[in-house]
Structures are given as C-alpha cells and as structure tokens.
Structure 1
Amino acid sequence: MRFVLASASPARLAVLRAAGIDPDVRVSGVDEDAIAAALTDPAPAELVTALALAKAEAVLAGLRAEDEPGEAVVVGCDSMLSLHGEVVGKPGEPEIAAKRWRGMAGSTGELLTGHAVVRLRDGEVVARAQGHRGTAVRFAEPSEEELAAYIGSGEPLGVAGGFTLDGLGGWFVEGVDGDPSSVIGISLPLTRNLLSEVGLRVTDLWR
C-alpha cells in the first residue's frame, strides 16, 4: 500500500515520518484561488475541506496516468486561520504578515484543517472520505523587534495564518486547545479516522 501525501509541506512530511509513515510526496499544483472562487459563500470548514479534496484528486489523476497496479491511498490537506471573523491563508508578503500578526497578537484564533483521503486499487477509486478539524491557538504579544525578526526570517510568509507551532513561530504561541498536529499541518487523529472510513488501519501503514 503506497501512502501518497498530496502536499509539498515539509511540516506535514515531518509529522508523518515521526508518526511511522514515510509517504510518497506529490505536489498537487492546484489553483487554490480558482477553487475558492468557484464555491458560493463557503463556510471556512467547507473551504479547507474542498481545497484538500481538490489537491488529493489532482494527485490522484497523476497516479492513474502512471497505470501502476496495486493499491495506494492519497491524502490531501489544507489549512487556514480564522481570526476576528476573517479566514486567512498564507501571507505571501512581509507587509501582509506584519499586519496580520499585529491583529493576532494577544488574541485567540482557530486553525482549521481540512483533509481528504482517496483509496485507489489497480487504477480505480474504491473509497473516499473527507473531514475537518478546528484547533484554538492562543497567540502571544511579540515586541516590534521580535516581530520584525520573525518576519525577516521568511518563515511566516508561506504558512497558513503566518505562523508555525514547530518552528520559530512557536516562541510566539502561548498554547493550543485541541490537536497540536493539526496546527502543524496534518491532524493525526483526523487522518486515522478517515483512513478507517476507507477501510485502512493506520498501524498497517507504519513502516
């Protein structure tokens, strides 16, 4: 059974490896903005789940084109931060990251993670499952000097919400209420439940 991670995220890869799975990494290359635009006023949970499914399906198409016999399971993920009624993804630019952090400091946000699991057997889809998980994140209040140094590191620009729990951003997170692995990028409890829905035991996938 091939375990295929439809994500380029090194954090998701690290979580899975630490948890006993060494996945085959495939990058989906989906246009997230186009997918979001195609949805009619989606709830945050609906949006991250739809994006996760789109990533899994895009990678699935590539696997089917390879026409390799056997079984595979594809896992797609997406994360966004919900804060003060606004849902945000990756800042991309230092100015955006700085503005967001000034709004996040001293507040509590909800990190939403959507997952999709697709099971493939001999080129045919035999089962699908999808779901989401929300985890409360309590942010510290970094000084202007600390914030400038963090943004200058480049780390927050390419991650959901503009922060990490397992990197430099961990210094500025007071705590989480819920699943820490979900905040890092892939929820182990949710992934285990979805794998079960498609007929797989996570213990059978351990290397």
Structure 2
Amino acid sequence: MGGREAPLVLTLASGSPRRRALLEALGYPLRVVPPGVVEEPLALPPQELALALARRKGEAVAGEWVLAADTVVELEGRSLGKPKDLEENYTFLRWLSGREHRVHTALYLRTPKDLVVEVHTAKVRFRPLSEEEIAWYVGSGEGLDKAGGYGAQGLGMALLEGVEGDFYTVVGLPVARVFALLWARGFRP
C-alpha cells in the first residue's frame, strides 16, 4: 500500500478559542485538548509563573507535536490572572487605568526531537478610564476569562493607548514565533 506518511497534527493543549482561531487562521491541522490543569496562583514572579503554567499544561497532554501557552499580566511586579468575579475585574481595570503594564506569554512546544519553553513580553499602556467606561467593559463580561481582566482583540481594544512589542503576545500567543519554531522543525501549515 503506498508509503505515504500521515499528515502532521498539532495538539493544542488549551481551551482558549483565541489561540485555536489564530492557529487555524494560519492553516495548521489541530487537535484541541484542554489540559484540565488548574491555574492556581503559584508564588513565582510573573514571567516564571507564565513559564510554569505553560509547562504544566503542555506536560498534561499527550502527542508528538504539542503546543501550550499561558499568559500573565504584570503590574508593578504583581501578577494579575483571570479575575474571579466582576468585582475583581473592576478592581483590575482601575489599577490598569492610565498606566503601563507588561504581558508575558510563555510557550511550551514539544516535538518528536526537542522541547522549547520560552516567554515573550509586550508592554501595554491603558488610557485613563472613567468609572463609567470601566463599568461598561466589566458589564460586557468579556474580561472574566482573560489574564488581567481584558481582551485586547475584543471590546478591550477601546481601553488601550498603545502596545510595544508583539500584539499577539498580548492576545495570548506570539504567532510569528510559533510559526518560526514550527517551520524550522519541518511542520508546515
């Protein structure tokens, strides 16, 4: 029977619809497997926390080609994860209003030949927000499942004044870096 190789499939160890959509937009054949890892706060600096969580997610999923990621928002050395409720979302946005913060997205890429674990950072500036604007955004519910309590690619774009670095790092997946890593290893969309 002909020796045709089975097509490569990238296992995405994530339940994030944003990460899935970004990889699908590039044409990667995906198998999505949410890792079922609890993202409990660990006593680590923000960059190390992102790395630890991405590694934990990637190691929880089987497959030859596995990609996991985790995003942590850092404000003055403090990690802001996903808000636990609307009140915490409101608090996060008050803290971020008119200020600059960092967004760290860590990658875990396991291939048949190697393992890459790295973190990428972008700076984000929020414009000064009124209480009414914060209430509008929090009321949308969009920020509840996002690190820092906002989504730069959705309604949250109205909150931003600027981004220094890779915008997709802020969204939750440094797409150009993932593409380059996969391409260099012979995995083509």
What TM-score do you get using the length of structure 1 for normalisation? 0.82
Q: Structure 1 residues 176, 59: CA separation in 2 closer, same or farther (over 3 Å shift)?
A: same
Q: How far did 1:205 drift?
A: 2.5
Q: How far did 1:16 drift?
A: 1.4
Helix, strand or coil at the partner of 2:83: coil
The amino acid that maps onto 2:27 is G
Which residue of 2 is the match for residue 14 of structure 1? 21
Is 1:90 aligned to residue 82 of structure 2?
yes
The amino acid that maps onto 1:95 is E
The amino acid that maps onto 2:105 is T
Helix, strand or coil at the partner of 1:164: coil
CA contact 2:46–2:77 (8 Å) conserved in 1: no
CA contact 1:15–1:181 (8 Å) conserved in 2: no
Is 1:186 aligned to residue 173 of structure 2?
yes
Q: Distance in 2 between matches of 1:171 and 1:80?
A: 20
User: What's the % identity of the aligned pairs?
Assistant: 35
Q: How many residues align?
A: 182
Task: Give unpaired runs (5+ residues) of structure 2.
Answer: 1-7
Task: Give unpaired runs (5+ residues) of structure 1.
Answer: 64-71, 121-125
Q: Structure 1 residues 49, 194: CA separation in 2 closer, same or farther (over 3 Å shift)?
A: farther
Q: Which has the higher helix share?
A: 1
Q: How far did 1:161 drift?
A: 0.8
CA contact 1:97–1:156 (8 Å) conserved in 2: yes
Q: Distance in 2 between matches of 1:174 and 1:54?
A: 33
Helix, strand or coil at the partner of 2:60: helix
Which residue of 1 is the match for residue 49 of structure 2? 47
Kindly provide the CA deviation profile for residues 120-170 of structure 1, in whole angstroms up to 9, marking residues without a partner as x: 4xxxxx421110000000112222222111111111111011111110101
CA contact 1:114–1:130 (8 Å) conserved in 2: yes
Is 1:141 aligned to residue 128 of structure 2?
yes
CA contact 1:132–1:190 (8 Å) conserved in 2: no
